[in-house]
Structure 1
Amino acid sequence: MSADEKWHLYYWPSLPGRGDFVRLMFEEMGVEYVDVGRVEGVQAVLQYYNGTAPGFPVYCPPIIRRGDLVMNGTPAILQYLGKVSGMYPDGDENEAHGWQINAIVTDLMGEGHDAYHPVKRTGTYDSQKEAAAPMIKQFREERLPKYLGYLERVLKLNEKNGFFLGSKITYVDIAVFHALRAAEFQFPEDYKSLPIPTLRAFKERMATRPRIAAFLESPRCIPFCGNSMM
C-alpha cells in the first residue's frame, strides 16, 4: 500500500448514518479521501453491497478501501483507522475499554435505528410508523437515558483529560461524538434534559476541533434525515 494512495469510503450518498463515523475519522486524521457514493452515485456503493467487487468480501456499508485493503463493519473500521493513525488508546487496559465503549456505541445506534424500523430494518420509517411509535417511546424513555448515562459515567472517570481514554483523542472519542450528534438531533428535548453535563460539554468541545469544525461547516457534512438517528 503506497503512502500517497487515497482512502475510499463507500456509503449511501444521501445520509450521514454510520458513514459519518468514518468521515469524522478521516477528517480528524487530516487525510484525503473519496466519498465514493457522493462522487460516483449509489451504484458504485451497490457493487460492494451486492458482493460483486474484487477484494476481501464485505457485508454492507460503510466500507473502506485503500490499495489492496477492503473492509467493512463500523466498529472494526474505527479501531483499524485508530491504529494506523495513532488515534488509538495507549496500554492494554485502555485498549480493552476502547473496544467496550465502541461496542456500546454501536448498540446505541443500532437500537436507535431499529426503534424506527421495527417491522423491516431495510424498510422506510413511513411504511411502519404505527408499529414504530411504541418502540420509539420505549427507546426515548428507557434505552437512551441508560446509554447516555453510562457514557457520562465513563467520561467522568477521565474528565480532567477531556477525552474518554488517556490524554489524547482516540477513535473512541470520534465514535461517541457522532452518536451524541445523532441523539441530539433526533431527540433534542431528551438530550437537553438528561443529567449528562459532562457529555454535553464534551460534544461541544469536540465540535470546535479545527478539522472537525471545518467538516461540520462544509458541504461534505450531510444533514441528518430525522428518522432513526441517521
Structure 2
Amino acid sequence: MIRSQDAPVNDRVVVHAENVNAGGNVIPVGYVPRPKEFKFESFKRCGAKDFYGNLDAVGCMEWLEDIEVVFASCNCPEDKKVLSASRMLKEGTRDWWRGTTVSMTPAVRSALTWDHFKEKFMEEYIGTREKRLLEKEFRALKADVGGMAEYARSFMSKIKFVEHLVPNEEDKVAAYVDGIPASYRGICRQHATLAGAIKESKKLVDDFKTEKATVKANDDKKSGSKRKYDGSSGSSGKFKKRSSSTGVSNNYAKPKN
C-alpha cells in the first residue's frame, strides 16, 4: 500500500502499488489513457513511399505491401488507411484515384476499406496479362528434398501476388503441400496453418538428412572394418610365400626308420 503525499494527512488517499507508474505518480483507479490521435506526419515518418505509377507488376505489389507494413508500424486506424495511402499517390496516379472516387458521396468515400483500395489499385496498375504470369509462376512452384527452404521462401514471396487464388488458410496449406515431395504431403497436410505446414516440411527434411548421414556413417564404418580384415589376410599370405621361397617348410619331415 502507498499513501499519496500530495494531500493533507487526513485527506491522503491510500492506493495500491500497481496504481503507481514508473515515475512515482499515482494513477487513479479505473483511469484509461486517451489514445494518441493519428497524424499523417507519423505515417510518413514510418517510411511511407510515394507512388508515381512507373513500377512493374511486382513493384506495384511491393508498394502495397510496404504501405501495409507502415500501417502496422504507426498504428494507423482502419478508417484512415485509404486516405493515408491515397495521399502518397503522385502525378498521374493522383488523377486516377480522383477519377475513381469523384462520383462517390463523401459518406461513401469515407467508408472505403483498404481491401477496396487494393482491388481498384490492382485493376489499374497490374494488368490481366501480368496477373496470369504471376499465377502461372505460383502454380509451377515445386520443391525437391534438398531445396525445401528455397521452395518455402519462393512460395511466401509469390503468394502475396495471388491471394485471390488462396483466400483462406486451408487453401494456402493445400497449395504449399501440392508443391512438396509426395512422401511429405500426408503429414504436412494435417496442419491447419501455412506456418505449421512449412515448419513440418523443413523438419522432415532435417530428419531425412540426419538419417541419411547416419546410414552413411554406418556404411563407412563397415567398409573400414572390411578393409582392415582384408589387409590382415593379405599380410599372412605374403608371409607364407616368403617362407616357401627360402626353402623352409612349416611342416616337420617324417623321420626315417
TM over 0.5: no
- Structure with the bigger RCO (C-alpha within 8 Å, sep 6+) is 1
TM-score for both structures, normalised by structure 2: 0.24
Max radius of gyration: which structure? 2
TM-score for both structures, normalised by structure 1: 0.26
